[in-house]
Amino acid sequence: MGAAYFYHLTRQPVEEALPLLLDRALAQGWRVAVRGQAARLDRLDRLLWTVPPNGFLPHGLAGGQHDARQPILLGGPVPEANDPACLMSLDGAEITPDEVRRSDRACILFDGHDPAALDRARSQWVALTGAGCAAQYWSQDSGRWEKKQERPERT
């Protein structure tokens, strides 16, 4: 049974925070599906070839012939061809309560300087915790990641 982790980005953009989270997910042995807007996913596709310390993170854009083999699959609303243990949502992309329950972790990254992104993240928090999903809220306001709130799973 998974949990939703909300990452309130105030000190770095998604393009800096996401590779760190992806690297940690891969270290756990998880396959990852990343959902977001097509333009951002295209930029991330290029970025993930040059991310230190290893120089790249193994990934692909959804829709290719090797989607099922990709450790990280960047795709549209439901890129599940790689059987992900971890889902990552950017740009307010939907993650359902059932998906949270089926995954090891669902990560929702949102820009703390964008009022619309804040509203969307609040709505996702209410929907997921209201459906009984475990959730954690992490903020980087102090300069490092700190857990600010946690809701246990409800059955």
Tens of pLDDT, residues 33-91:
999 999 999 999 999 998 866 678 999 999 888 999 999 999 865 557 899 999 999 99
Two tokens at 95? 């993650």
Position 41 scores a pLDDT of: 94
Q: Which one-letter amino acid corresponds to residue 72?
A: I
> How far is it, in rounded angstroms, from Cα 124 to Cα 53?
33
Domain membership of residue 115 as a residue range:
3-151
Per-residue pLDDT tens digits for 96-138:
999 999 999 999 999 999 999 999 999 999 999 999 999 999 9
Instruction: Yes or no: say if 100 and 133 are a contact pair by the CB < 8 Å rule.
Output: yes
Distance CA 39, CA 89 (A): 14
pLDDT of 77: 56
CATH number of the domain to which 15 belongs: 3.40.50.10110
Non-local CB neighbours of 2 within 8 Å, separated by 6+ positions? 100, 101, 102, 103, 104, 105, 106, 133, 134
| Number of folded domains that form the chain | 1
Q: What is the pLDDT of residues 8-29, one digit of tens each?
A: 999 999 999 999 999 999 999 9
pLDDT of residue 43: 94
